[in-house]
Amino acid sequence: MPMQSYHNTGRLCRLIVRQDRIRIPVWLISLSVLSFMVAMAFTDLYPTGQARQTIAETMRNPAMTAMVGKGYGLDDYTNGAMMAHQMLLLTAIPVGIMSILLVTRHTRADEEDGRIEMIRSLPAGHLANLNATISISFGTNALIALITGFGLYALGIESMDLEGSLMYGAALGATGIFFSAITALFAQLTESARGTIGYSITVLLLSYLIRAIGDVGNEALSWFSPLGWVLGSEVYVNNYWWPIILTIGAAIILVVISLYLNSIRDLEAGFIPAKPGRKYASSFLKSPLGLALRLQRTGLIAWAVGMFILGASYGSVLGDLESFFAENEMMAELLTPVEGYSLTEQFLTMLMSIISMICTIPPLMAMLKLKGEEKKNHTEHLLSRAVSRTRLMGSYFIISVIGGFFMITLAAIGLWTVGNSVMNEGIAFGTLYRAAMVYLPAMWIMIGIAVLFIGIAPRLSVLTWLYLTYSILVVYLGGMLQFPEWMGKLTPFGHIPKLPIEDMDFMKVSILTIIAIVLLAVGFIGYNKRDIQG
């Protein structure tokens, strides 16, 4: 491809940096600070070798292996080995999501909104925008690698040497680079930003699932997952650089393919053809609810499949838990059995809290889609007709609430179906389903917060995602990092009774539901009163 095709790539890079001058630093600071905080917390929680070996024994069970990856150096569980084992994968996933969103925003989303056509009308090369987007995304991930690597080394923690720290950062950066390349490829294949994000997130979820199954059962299967590649570097233990090089090499190949496809396709076209659809719209499609559902149908279906797979992946390791708990003396000391309940049922309470928070992501996306449509000036057209603002917002709210219900239901069904198939004594579906459904009020509060921001301050709606991220951190990592109890109480998920181990607390659940209703009411009132943004 001639060099003229990349003309003014540098200027477009500066434009992208200008547009994301807040987003990129927020991602960089959040991910790096999280890594530093956890590394320092581990040294305080497990100051001696004996304490680290105790937690190492708890990490050998199949459920933890499926969740965080196969442990390396468990026989000599140093601070570095612990950090890499417990946090590398959990940090790599947000890095992948960041890369997917960044590349989609400046490729297929800009193309849908007509900005690429405007850029091409100026003295810019045919491939300049895609090349600039990939360059910025790769550069952002390189910064994550350097900041995290040198930052972890600067903490001066024993066993976290310079090479291991740089490899830890490189593993995160390589993950982001790979999923940047995957997204760039799907931006050429699909015809919409929704399709690009949907396919890219699907690859990320499948990578996690394949790695989880491989780490628990067939180790060779893990090498079919890019997440399995970066974990195969065995950071802080053996420090293998070749999996990192493999990941970046695969990304470069995908980038070359993406640039070639971009050079031969028409603007706003894709290589995966969209279905022509019906000649005449149905009565339902002509309604605000039908239109909102149609706009989000593909994404909701992808998330629904992903939630079922997520539940099934956790269910696949339940069969080995009971024997592990029974045979492991250290686990017997750490877990206090509750009379009448198996240790597996106790472990399910933690799984349900994690699953419920992940299941909150798609309903929030469905609700915040209304803000996105407003930003694109699409809602003005609807509101100029006989459609009230309450009806319009209510349509997205209905999709969000019903979608959230189905997401957590499918995750519970996947967990129960696969879990019971591998367990000698299965768990009753009613017991497991109640443990999942009790988290709905917490999900409603998160949706209510999204509605509140859309109705009063749409520019601040990003705070909804920050609050959900905080909830995941304090609920999932709070026990391990010994956060103060009040931090868990700042999120609605921290007030949900842990069924079936705890008794149902109707008072707490009722109060959470009332708070959700108040948030929704204020949001709807604000949306009816404020100006629509153009």
What is the DSSP track for 113-127?
TTHHHHHHTSS--TT
Concatenate the DSSP letters of all residues of 406-455 into one string: HHHHHHHHHHHHHHHHH-SSPPPHHHHHHHHHTTHHHHHHHHHHHHHHHH
State which residues of the chain have pLDDT below 50: none
Tokens for 223, please give them: 């090498």
Place of tokens 């010994």: 482
Task: Output b/e per residue, 130-144; b: 16+ Cβ within 10 A.
Answer: bbbbbbbbbebbbbb
CA distance 384 to 377: 12
So what's the pLDDT on residue 480?
60
Asked whether 205 and 306 are in contact (CB, 8 A), the reply is yes
So what's the pLDDT on residue 479?
61
So what's the pLDDT on residue 324?
58
CA distance 377 to 109: 15
So what's the pLDDT on residue 475?
81
Tokens for 110, please give them: 């800009």
So what's the pLDDT on residue 184?
96
The CA-based angle 149-171-66, given to 5 degrees, is 125
Could you count the other beta carbons within 10 Å of the beta carbon of residue 252? 13
Q: Is 214 helix (H, G, I), strand (E, B) or coil?
A: helix
Could you count the other beta carbons within 10 Å of the beta carbon of residue 277? 9
CA distance 509 to 373: 33
Q: Angle formed by the axes of helices 79-106 and 128-154, to 10°?
A: 160
So what's the pLDDT on residue 341?
65
So what's the pLDDT on residue 98?
93
CA distance 419 to 425: 10
Length in residues, the chain = 534
The single-letter DSSP state of residue 145 is H
CA distance 279 to 293: 18
List pLDDT tens digits, range 333-363.
Answer: 555 556 666 667 777 887 888 899 999 999 9
Burial class (CB in 10 A: 0-12, 13-18, 19+), 261: middle
Residues near 359 by beta carbon (within 8 Å), at least 6 away in sequence:
307, 404, 407, 408, 411, 443
CA distance 87 to 165: 13
Asked whether 242 and 228 are in contact (CB, 8 A), the reply is no
List pLDDT tens digits, range 485-504.
Answer: 888 888 999 899 888 888 88
Could you count the other beta carbons within 10 Å of the beta carbon of residue 76? 12
So what's the pLDDT on residue 515?
96
Tokens for 351, please give them: 């799984």
CA distance 249 to 243: 10
Helices (H), 376-388: 379-383
So what's the pLDDT on residue 518?
97
So what's the pLDDT on residue 309?
81
